Amino acid sequence: MKVNARSEWMKAQKHADVMAPGGHFEVIQTHDETSIFFSLGTDGVLYATKEVQTSTAGFTREDLSSGLSSRFNGKVVTAKAFSVSQNAFTGKWDLLLAATCDGSDHLFVSQGNSYDTSTAATPGIAWSVIPFDGDGADSASTNIQIADVFALNSAKAGSICVVDIWRSAGSNNSLDRYYVISGHSPQQWNQHLLAIDLDAGSVSTVLGQRSSDSIPGLYTFGMIDGQSELIYAPIYNFFRPSNPPSPARLALPAGTTSMSAASDRSGHTNLFVSHVGGLSVFPPSGQRDGATPVPCLAGPLVSGATQLQSYTVESTTSVWGRNAQGGLFYATCPAGNEAQQSSWSTPALLLPLVEAFAFYNGISTNSHTLFAHISGQDIRELDQDPVTSMWRERKIMLPSTDINDMVEFDSYTTRLEVLDSNSIPQPNVGISLTSISPVPVFVDEVYYVLNPSNPITFKTDGNGSVTIVQQTDSLAAVCYMVAPTAPNSLAVLVDPSATAVQKLNSIQSGDDLAAVRIADSDGVTRPLLPSSTNADDRNAAAQAIKQFCDIGKGLDANGTPSGKSVPAVKSLAASPQPGTHVFSVHVDNGTSSTPSLAFSTREASAAKPNTVGVVSKESIGGDLVGGLVKVGDFFKMLANAALSGLHTLSVRIIDGVHHVFATIGGVVYHALLDCISAVVHAVEWVFRQVKVLLADLISWLGFIFGWKDIVRTHSVVKNLIKQYVRKSINEIGTVEAKISDAFDGLEKKLNAWTDVTDPGLTIGSMAAARDLNDGGSSPQSHWGINHARSQMNNAKVEDHNSVVGGLETVLHDMEALVTDEIDDIKNMITQIRTQIVEAYSGLTPIQIVKRLLGIIGDLLLKSAKNVIVKSLDIIRALADSLVNVLDAPITIPILSRFYKELTGADLSILDLVVLILSIPGTIMYKIAVGSAPFPDDEDTAKLANATDFQIIQDIANPGPHGAIAMPMIMPTHPQKVVVRVQADTRPSLGAKVYRAFAIFGRFFGVVTTWLGQIVQDAKWAIKQVKGFPGVDGTPTPWKVVGTVNSIVGVVPTIINAFNRSGAWEVIMTDTIAGLGLLRTLIGLTPVADTDPWKKSDPYVSVFFQLTQIPPPVGNIIEGSIKGTAIASDYVGLAASLFGRFTGILNPVSMALDDLEVELVIVAAANITCLLQGLLMISNAGMVIAGK
């Protein structure tokens, strides 16, 4: 087996809600490095928002505090403060909660929690309440008011809990402090005996432990006894517990603003303080009374941080801070080297304006995960790729209960198909999926975090595919490794960005860039570059893009760095040689709103010490030179509008690796340009300099739906179906005579099957000739179907009304009629499966026809007419109520909202099906033909607004001038193609419209098989859950969509009837199709819920399918006799036959009560459905090519 992959950079949507900012928040990690985000809601609830694999939105939110009301006779509990601490080396974590009930505060603790993904932060979290039993303030009463809580879980101290309470209840001045030992006897609340006054609202506290102490302590910074101080004190006197502990007053650097503590593997704490001029650290051994801190970071970027957090995991210590301007920075150093200034990385400013943040370093990967409340925005998660160091930013999506909620985001959407040797998609087969680096994705709308080492196995759907959505905020993507689980299958590398990068490589000059045009969703085109872009800027940008793309061609295709590792800390000054200059892009901001751009392959002038191009031996050690930073940090800073001073971006080769240099915020930074993600970020930077936004790049390099074209298609097809329904209802009075006439000629038609000429084209060769670039495999073609499948269980359909009374007799008659035929039908199905489906690859369509004669002949001639006529009796009784059944409203997430925005109308069940099928139908047509099937003109408007089917037929009927020159296969020379031209080949309006209909109808028939297979998979899955026999448990939305899809599937048949309206084949097809359509409509009425209908309907469907087999065979016979049959006719016949087989197999599979037999029939139906779709695509391509 092999894998066919198609990826697009495109918009994706989820039925979800975005997590809104609340109060205080903190974050921890699970063992697989997914997140648990704790926050205080504005509603007084403590929430745990957990990243959950196999969820629908990626995150779920649990209420951790409201359930505590059960301990207080149902009274409301309001969360007011919490603290969480995770041991960075064991993963265990503690959670403290201060909550108010009935005017009094209570302390709840949950300690020693596992960080196992399946149990962490579940609704059943074990809370213990610790009643106040302490000495000191207001000790006679348990009515306390808690000001704050502090937790610590470290390797040495274990679980520590400290609580600040107001000294006098109801006051807002001084605090008393307690350390709490859960379950300790005789007292759990123990007062911290340090004789100092803590001024409420002016102090901050963190927990930690000095290297020489046996117990942990508290660092308290702020207004203490009326003056600014930093004091460390053990939680109690280890040697004399009844005495106060001995405090250590630590020397504060001038202008100290915040502090943070990080515990190392031994449980000892580095205390970081931010102050004017930079950041300093009190190492674990340097925290005695009077100790002074050691400077570790300096500069305005890190000066005066108002919020500081630090974390040590394995070999790395990280410090993050919100500086005086609100910007978020971070820096790292090897664990144990915190007091060595030279060990620290150059600080990186990642975000310009942040209200609050929380982060962790992955315990296994050591990569950064950050949650930040960005000013004026929602809370965002940023995570750094541990392989490439690139940053990804995303909103936190939660499940939504509002059917209209939708979150839209940029994505790389990849559709994988598993194919056999004939390029036939293989349903229900396993594929193993890993990624080159950890990356969150949605696989078939379900959330997973892929990684390189733990393959996840998925099964292909009924169409043989799996769809992966990777959210992205840039042109960069993470690659996948995909391997079918079948023996002898090879793994393939899938790069979602490959198509986009290939388009980038087409830019070789400024003229190439100027020629690029982009289109919006309305089809309006414009140049990619703004009109203000002059020739010099255009040429400079093109040269830079070309150079960066050329660098990318020499890098590893899987996206990993090129092999040269980045030193943990290495300043530019440490390099003895600056390397070979490759090129520079100089930006001159000047006084205009649009900067000018210059490209140069020459070394920049040494007269400009603040530009990068001047890098030389003499300037390497200059004060303005920063250090080697991660390339992800480098480009994140380049995108930061708060940083200024960038004049030149230069590329040099050092030790065989490309380095990129830039002056950012007055400091020279450089990074390794050693992976494809880095290269495409560099290209994005170039585009930003010429005012090309990311959305513009998606319009060019990705995919934008042409909604106006799709809506026109939808309008035409919807009206075609509605008018055909009306036509069929109007002809009920004459249809019985047509049925009699049609069946009178049936036996003669069947006898002619034995003499038809066979050109020798096998089904296997037809399928193998499929063009994999026809658009049918693209993710955009399956966009609507995928959303329908994922949201169908959330859909709501309004009840329908119809008259059932008076039909009991005829329904029972029908049941009795088909019951007599069930054994013959089962035998027929076995023969179709064993003699045709299982041998399809080596059979020709004509060989199938000849085998069919002996299989279906008796049922067709002896029983089909009686069943059809009896169905007519039921249809007559319900005709008046069938007209408006298709207008029943349906509400479904995402698609209802899109339809409303596109058309201004509410979605009906017919609108839904026609819309999701018009999307791929239009896309494939545009790929094949180069234009939309129904242009924005007067004739399309007439088709969409026609009030009678005859009007549509008159517009589409090719008339006497419709014959078009087409090649044909001569019967005596099966492989020889010649062209036979009719006498008059002048095109007419009818010919154009009919040709559009003819081609589009084939594509439309294809996509009805896709949707039909999805619906059948859902019904089958539901039946397995509900048990055997019967499908009563199928939810209404699934039944409705399946029924309407069957109705819409008549479109190719309707279109075929536009032309040769007097032929027996057309009359037979039109009569049975119209009657079958009305019978299918009954499936949308209460009649379908009656027992006689349920029992008979699957078998009645079989007879309707059987009667539609002779007409296309008759067309081939006629063409063979006249010498006009061509290759596409035989492929079309094969598609039609397999479509009928699917229509026979699927309903019967749902009616049986033998699981083993059903599984065999379902497998056969999967094959026939897939073959029908593939052959129709091939047939459309051949018709376009005139073959």
Residues 6+ apart with CB under 8 A from 730: none
> pLDDT (tens digit, 9 = 90+) per residue, 784-794?
999 999 999 99
| pLDDT tens profile 644-668 | 666 688 898 888 889 999 887 777 8
Query: Per-residue pLDDT averaged across 25-41, rounded?
Result: 94
Taking only Cα atoms into account, the Rg of the chain, rounded to an integer number of angstroms, comes to 36
What pLDDT does residue 1022 have? 81
Structure tokens at 1169: 């459905």
As beta bridge partners, residue 659 has 652, 672
How do beta strands 158-166 and 146-154 pair?
antiparallel
* Measured distance CA(722)–CA(1054) in Å, rounded: 12
Q: What is the pLDDT of residues 1018-1048, one digit of tens each?
A: 888 887 776 655 445 678 888 889 889 898 8
Please check the confidence at residue 420 and state whether its pLDDT lies above 60: yes
CATH top-level class of 408-496: mainly beta
Q: What is the mean pLDDT of residues 434-460?
A: 96
Encoding tokens for residue 947? 């009030």
CA angle 727, 728, 731 (to 5 degrees): 85
Q: Say if residue 804's pLDDT is above 60.
A: no
- The pairing of strands 625-628 and 667-672 is parallel
Q: Which pLDDT does position 94 carry in this prediction?
A: 94
On the 0-12 / 13-18 / 19+ scale of CB atoms within 10 A, 494 is buried
Q: Is 1022 exposed, middle or buried (0-12, 13-18, 19+ CB in 10 A)?
A: middle
Q: What is residue 124's predicted lDDT score, i.e. its pLDDT?
A: 61
Structure tokens at 560: 């990993």
Residue 494's pLDDT is what?
A: 97
For residues 346-361, give the mean pLDDT.
93
Interatomic CA distance for residues 82 and 86, integer angstroms: 14
| pLDDT (average), residues 189-215 | 84
The pLDDT value given to residue 88: 87
Give the Cα separation of 308 and 329 in Å (integer).
10
Taking only the tens place, the pLDDT of each residue in 366-407 is: 899 999 999 888 899 999 999 999 999 999 999 998 999 999
Tell me which residue of 1045, 1049, 1050 sits closest to 1083, measured CA to CA. 1045
Q: Which two tokens stand for residue 1105?
A: 């399918």
Residue 610 pLDDT exceeds 50: no
Query: Poorest-confidence range of 37-46, 170-179, 980-989?
Result: 980-989
Stated as kind and residue range, the H or E segment containing 369 is strand 368-374
Write the DSSP assignment of 166-203 as a string of letters: ESSTT--SEEEEEEE-TT-SS-SEEE------EEEEEE
pLDDT the model gives residue 298: 92
Strands 525-527 and 456-459 come out as unpaired
Length of the chain: 1187
Which residue from 967, 1009, 1048, 1041 is spatially nearest to 1136, judged by alpha carbons?
1009
Instruction: Give the separation between CA 755 and CA 757, rounded to whole angstroms.
Output: 7
pLDDT bucket at 169, cuts 50 / 70 / 90:
low
Asked if 466 contacts 431 with a C-beta cutoff of 8 angstroms, the reply is: yes
Residue 650's nearest CA partner among 635, 663, 637 is 663
Contact 80, 100 (CB under 8 A): yes
User: Of the candidates 1128, 1168, 1125, which has an alpha carbon nearest to the alpha carbon of residue 1146?
Assistant: 1168
Q: How confident is the model at residue 493 (pLDDT cuts 50, 70, 90)?
A: very high
Q: What pLDDT is attached to residue 876? A: 86
Q: Which of 615, 702, 618, 701 is nearest to 659 (CA)?
A: 615
In this predicted structure, the answer to whether residue 970 has a pLDDT above a threshold of 60 is no
* Residue 617 pLDDT greater than 50, yes or no: no
Q: Has residue 3 got a pLDDT over 90? A: yes
> Higher-confidence residue: 962 or 339?
339
Return all residues near 263 (Cβ < 8 A) that are at least 6 apart: 88, 152, 154, 155, 156, 208, 209, 269, 312
Cα separation, 999 vs 1183, whole angstroms: 7
Q: What is the mean pLDDT of the chain?
A: 86
Q: What percentage of residues in the chain have a pLDDT greater than 90?
A: 53
Most confident of the ranges 199-208, 691-700, 740-749, 1069-1078: 691-700
Please answer whether residues 515 and 468 qualify as being in contact, where contact means their C-beta atoms are separated by less than 8 angstroms: no
Which SS3 state, helix, strand or coil, does residue 1073 take? Answer: helix
Beta strands in 41-157 (DSSP E): 46-51, 59-63, 78-86, 93-101, 104-113, 128-129, 146-154
Percent of the chain predicted with pLDDT > 70:
89
Nearest to 911 by CA among 896, 894, 926, 932: 896
Burial of 983 (0-12, 13-18, 19+ CB in 10 A): exposed
- C-beta separation of 504 from 21 below 8 A: no
Residue 630 in this model has a pLDDT that exceeds 80: yes
What is the structure's pLDDT at 467? 98
Residue 211's pLDDT is 92
Distance separating alpha carbons of residues 867 and 1065, to the nearest angstrom: 20
DSSP conformational letter for 819 = H
Residue pLDDT, tens place only, 538-554: 999 999 999 999 999 99
Res 624 pLDDT > 70: no
User: Residue 1121 — very low, low, confident or very high, per pLDDT cuts 50/70/90?
Assistant: confident
Our separate counts of H helices and E strands in the chain read: 27, 51
pLDDT at position 616, please?
31
Instruction: Identify the bridge partners of residue 658 per DSSP, sorted by sequence position.
Output: 653
The residue ranges of every structural domain in the chain are 408-496, 510-701, 737-817+876-1185
Phi, psi of 108 (to 5 degrees): -120, 140
Q: Alpha-carbon torsion 831, 832, 834, 840, what sign? A: positive
> Is 321 in a helix, a strand, or coil?
strand
Instruction: State whether residue 582 is helix, strand or coil.
Output: strand
Token pair recorded at residue 57? 């939105």
Choose the weakest-confidence range: 259-273, 485-499, 907-921, 1053-1067: 1053-1067
Question: Within 10 Å of residue 1052's Cβ, how many Cβ atoms?
Answer: 25
